[in-house]
Structure 1
Amino acid sequence: MKFKVLGSGAGIPSRTRNTQSFVLDVVEEINQYFLIDTSEALQHRILDTTIRPSKIRHVFITHLHGDHILGLPGFLSSRSHQGGEGIPLIVYGPPGLEEWIETTFRTSGTHLNYAIQFVEVGNGDVFDIEGFKVSVQLLDHAIDSFLYVFEEPDKPGALKSDKLREMGIKPGPIYKQIKSSKTFEHEGIIYNTCDYVSAPTAGRKVAVHGDTRVIRHKDYLDMLEGSDLIVHEATYLHGEQEKAHLYYHSEINDVLFNLSQISYGQLLFSHISNRYDAEMVRLVEEQLPSGIKLAHDFIEITIPRDSQ
């Protein structure tokens, strides 16, 4: 599992940062990509990667500000001609998203050659998507903005074949039968299968924020607890907590202090204001603890199993 940043900037693009768009790469797990937010020029960004639009079957929009959605009409249209013909797509997002796309397509005469479904999300929603549990939490922004938490299912433990061989059970179809049952019989004795299977490997958990102020509620922090990767905005990198709060955004040190109350694997800060030059970004990065990074366009984060 990998997390790829196609755009890491806030508000408007700069020479070095496009506005926000992410991809959760679960090709190894389910042969798909989850696309999260769709900044302007998304089509061009994808062309600079090995991502195949036909393998994007689910799109998640955090909120309806332009720097997070203006690339969606173009992406949907180009997907028709990039292997997506006949492959359905589901778009999850706040109320109003479907109406905006329908109006855009109607006025521009755009037609798709695949089925598209819009799912309106709300606070507390939970979806089962390709075996992943996807939870939705309302954030604190000028308009409705959401957190998406992606939880991979646990990976079943492996059969302890050495123990079975010691019992005199030779490899073969019987091993599959044993693993799929709660008990098995050998030479007249009933055994519990769980004693012959290793513990399952916990699924990974990735939490991706839309724009937000810092949230200090316990329920919110509990939702992030144990994440292997948290992606959070840091529009403000150098103080100015009051200004960040005034404009419904977050300041990096305030976020770090807030998240110090929970355990997590990696933390990636994105949505970086274009008023910070490369030298300021470098100075901030040098002060960050291990496992915490500032995003830049095309950065790729590997999310290993058991990263906690």
Structure 2
Amino acid sequence: MKFTVLGSGAGLPSKDRNTQSFVIDCVLEYNEYILIDAGEALQHRILHTHIKPSKIKNIFITHLHGDHIFGLPGFLSSRAFQGGEGIPLKIYGPKGLREWIETTFRISESALNYPLDVVEVEPYMDIRLNNFDVHAIPLSHGIESYAYIFKEDNQIGELQTDKLRELGIRPGPVYGEIKASETFTHDGQIYETPDFIGETIEGRKITVHGDTRLNTEKEYLDSIRNSDLLVHEATFLNNEREKAHDYFHSEINHVLDVFEDVNYKQLLIVHISSRYTDEDIKEVSASLEGRAVIAYDYFELPIPRNVK
């Protein structure tokens, strides 16, 4: 599983940073991509990757500002001609998203050749998505905005084949049968399968924020605690904490301070203002000392399993 950044910039795109779009690549695990936000020119960004639009089956929109949704109509239309025919697509997002999509397609007289379902999200809504539980947390942005917490299901531990060999059970299809059972019999003796299974593999936790002011409430911090990947905006990079707050955004040093005790494994900083030069960003990156990474377009970050 990996996290791909198709657009890392804030509201005004630059030559180097497109507006915000992300992909959780879980094709190897679950044969799909999960798209989060749809910045302008999304369909063009995808052309520079190996992402197949037909394998995007779920989209999560954090909020309805244009830099997060203006790429959606073009992508939906292109998907219809890029292997998506007949493959259902579901879109989750704030109230008003369904009306905006329906109006756009009605006025442009566009049609899709696959089922489209738009689900309007409510605060603290829980969503079951294949092998993930998704939790929507409301944010502070002056417009309805959400963070989405994707918690992967736990997996049964590895079969301890060395113990089976000690019993004289040789490798073969029987190993799969044993792992799927509660008990098994060998040489007339009954064994408990859990005694031959390693520790449970904890599912990965990925938290992706929309635009927002920093939230310092304990309940919120507890909900994102222990994220394998924490994605948060920092539109401001130069200690303009008050200005960031006034504009319903966040500043990078404040983000680091607030998340200091959240126990994340990886922190990815996104939604970077176009006013910052490459030199500005290099300087800030050098000061992070491994606490976070500032994203750039087409950045890919592996999200390994929690194997002990």
The TM-score bracket by the shorter chain reads over 0.9
How many Å separate the matches in 1 of 2:228 and 2:122?
Answer: 24
Match of 1:231 in 2: 231
Identity %: 56
AA at the equivalent of 1:215: N
- Counterpart in the other structure of 2:215: 215
Q: Give the drift of 1:12.
A: 1.3
Do the aligned residues in 2 keep the contact of 1:39 with 1:69 (CA within 8 Å)?
Answer: yes
Distance across 1 between alignment mates of 2:171 and 2:301 = 39
- Which residues in structure 2 correspond to 1:192-207 (within 5 Å)? 192-207=192-207
Q: How does 1:10-49 map to 2 (within 5 A)?
A: 10-49=10-49
Instruction: Count residues in correspondence.
Output: 308
Partner SS for 1:276: coil
- Using the TM superposition, give the Cα deviation of residue 291 of structure 1 relative to its aligned residue in structure 2, in angstroms: 4.9
* Alignment of 1:294 onto 2:294: yes
Q: Does 1:139 align with 2:139?
A: yes
Q: Deviations over 1:220-278 (max 9, x none)?
A: 11111111111000000001111111110001111100000210111010000111111
- Aligned with 1:25: secondary structure? strand
Q: d(CA) in 2 for partners of 1:166 and 1:305?
A: 29
Give the conservation status (yes or no) of the 8 Å contact 1:265–1:291.
no
CA contact (8 A) 1:21 1:36 kept: yes
Distance (Å, rounded) in 1 between the aligned partners of 2:84 and 2:291: 36
Contact persistence 2:201–2:307 (CA under 8 A): no
Q: How far apart, in 2, do the equivalents of 1:28 and 1:189 lie?
A: 38
**Aligned position for 1:97:** 97
| 1:170-227 CA distance string (max 9 Å, x none) | 3344333321222223334332211111112211111000000000011111111111
Displacement after TM superposition at 1:46 (Å): 0.5
Residue correspondence of structure 1 range 1-308 to structure 2 within 5 A: 1-306=1-306
Q: Distance in 2 between matches of 1:150 and 1:120?
A: 17
More off after superposition, 69-78 vs 122-131: 122-131
1:24-71 C-alpha deviation (Å, 9 max, x unpaired)? 110111111000000011111011111110010000000000000000
What is the letter of the counterpart of residue 149 of structure 1?
A: I
Q: Check the 8 A contact 1:265/1:307 in 2, yes or no.
A: no
| Cα distance in 1 between the residues matched to 2:25 and 2:172 | 35
Deviation string 1:69-127 (CA, Å, 9 cap, x unpaired) is 00001100011011111111000000100100000000000000000001111111111
| Stretch of structure 1 that moved more, 158-167 or 229-238 | 158-167
Deviation at 1:155, TM superposition (A): 2.5
Kept after mapping to 1: 8 A contact 2:202/2:307: no
Q: CA deviation at 1:307?
A: 8.4
Runs of at least 4 residues of structure 1 off by over 4 A? Answer: none
SS at structure 1 position matched to 2:90 = strand
**Separation of aligned partners in 1, 2:229 and 2:52:** 24
Q: What SS does structure 2 have at the residue aligned with 1:24?
A: strand
Residues 89, 115 of structure 1: 8 Å contact kept: yes
For residue 98 of structure 1, what is the amino acid of its counterpart? R
State the distance in 1 between where 2:283 and 2:109 align.
48
Local SS of the residue matching 1:244: helix
Whole-Å separation in 1 of the counterparts to 2:113 and 2:69: 21
Runs of at least 5 residues in structure 2 that lack an aligned partner in the other structure: none
Q: For the residues of structure 1 that align with 2:50 and 2:186, how far apart are their CA atoms?
A: 50
Secondary structure of residue in 2 paired with 1:280: helix
Looking at structure 2, the residues matched to 130 and 151 of structure 1 have their Cα atoms a distance apart, in angstroms, of 11
The one-letter code sitting in structure 2 at the alignment partner of 1:299 is F
Unpaired runs of at least 5, structure 1: none
RMSD of aligned residue pairs (Cα, Å): 1.4
Give the partner amino acid of 1:139: L
Flag the 1:154–1:71 CA change in 2: closer, same or farther, 3 A: same
SS of the residue 2:118 aligns to = strand
